[in-house]
Amino acid sequence: LYSYTVITVNASQCMNWLHDRMPAILDGDEAIQKWLNFGEVPTQEALQLIRPIENIAFHPVSTIVNNSRNNTPECIIPIEVGVKKEPKLSASSRKMFDWLQGKSPKKKELNCPGLQSFSTNTPKKTSAGLMQQWLKKEEGECCAKKLKPN
C-alpha cells in the first residue's frame, strides 16, 4: 500500500495573505536528502527542515485547476487577472447565443401553391394567444348551448 501525507506549516510572510497554512517545502537537494535518509538524521534536525520558506514564486492560473480530473499544461499557464476572455462558441452554441440575443433567423415564406391552405397569419402560439383561442372557443360553445331548445 502506497500513501503520502501533506505536511503543512504556518504560512510564510509572502503567502499569509492567501491562507494561514501552506505545505512544508523542502528547500534544496540537501534538505531533500536529509528528509529521505530519516534513519541517518536525528529527528530534531529533520523537523527543522519543515518550516515556512520565503523564496517561493507563484502566479494566477485558470480555474481549470479546480477540477481534479484536469491534468494538462493549461493548469499551470499564467493568466492575466481581470482580462475577460471571450469563449469560443461551437456552431450550436452560436445559434443558441444569437437566439438569446434576439437575433433568431427569420422564417422564409414558401411560394408553394400546394401549401396555401396553411395560413401564415395564424396567431402566435404564446400562452396569451392560446388562452385567447380557448376563451373564444368556450364562449362559442356557451352561446351554442344557450341557443339549443330544451
**Tens digits of per-residue pLDDT, 91-105?**
888 888 888 887 656
% of the chain beyond a pLDDT of 90: 21
Residue-level pLDDT at 86:
73
Residue 120 pLDDT > 60, yes or no? no
Residue 122 pLDDT > 60, yes or no? no
Please give the mean pLDDT across all residues of the chain.
Answer: 79
Q: Could you write out the three-class secondary structure of 58-109?
A: CCCECHHHHCCCCCCHHHCCECCCCCCCCCCCCHHHHHHHHHHCCCCCCCCC
